[in-house]
Amino acid sequence: MPNDSSDQFIVDPTADAADPTDVFDATLDPATDADANVTDLQDQAQQAVADGDYATAADYQGQAETAAAAAGDTGDLTGPDSGDLQTAATDQQTAATDQAQEATDAASGNYAAATDDASNASAAASGADASGGGLTNDGSADTEQLDESWANWDQETADQDATTADSYAAAGDTDDAQMYSDDATGEAQTAGDLGTEGTYDEAGADPVPDDTAVPDDTAVPDDTSAAVDDSAPAVDDSVPSDDDTSSAS
């Protein structure tokens, strides 16, 4: 009687199934496997750049460089290296820090400092993209700088008008004093609105009037046309004489 071999090809249901990736990895040439790993890491680095995350990109690119060096073949490395990407990540963080400081300075009414903060943020954002090769700089810091610069100009004008109002009030010219006081109040309000809109989380929310012009922060409002004459008119305290009385009659 022939041997019964009908069960020799039956798989033991309790045995673990082979992992297809184990079989695939076993058939790969080590050099090919290393190249594939480097390519995959660089793809992830470039995706992080596209996502605007330079810190993650630097990490993946660093891993790719390490893997390529271990394989003895760095010729396939492309794009910014990990050092450039780390520089971009640092600049990106600096830009965020400067914009946060800008919001703090604007909230305190220090629009001159806020303007400088926004300018620094713009430079850092541009530097990040120059090093990292991405397109993370949306120009918001430039808009913030312009808004804060206008806010600073309006606040300086408001301060000058307030001083002029005080001068008129001291001279007893209540009408002009009130006019300049009202101007100062309105200009201070405009400065506050622009300062708020120029902060990093508000920039570009609404159009800013006359954004095509750049205020001259060195200019001083010209109030010479309305100079206050603090000299009081001379009072004639002389008592009319009898001769003056008789001549008048």
Query: Whole-model pTM?
Result: 0.64
pLDDT, residue 36, reads 77
What is the number of H-type helices and E-type strands within the chain? 8, 0
Convert 41-51 to b/e letters by CB count within 10 Å (16 or more is b). Answer: bbebbbebbee
Chunk the chain into consecutive blocks of 10 residues (it has 249) and report each block's average pLDDT, rounded to whole numbers.
Answer: 48 48 42 75 95 96 94 88 97 94 93 96 96 93 93 94 96 95 94 84 40 45 45 42 44
Contact present, 195 and 111 (Cβ < 8 Å): yes
Query: Which pLDDT does position 3 carry in this prediction?
Result: 54
Tokens 């450039």: give the residue: 84
Rounded Cα–Cα distance for residues 76 and 37 (Å): 11
Instruction: Return the pLDDT at 168.
Output: 95
As a whole number of angstroms, the distance between CA 83 and CA 28 comes to 31
Q: Give residue 199's pLDDT.
A: 76
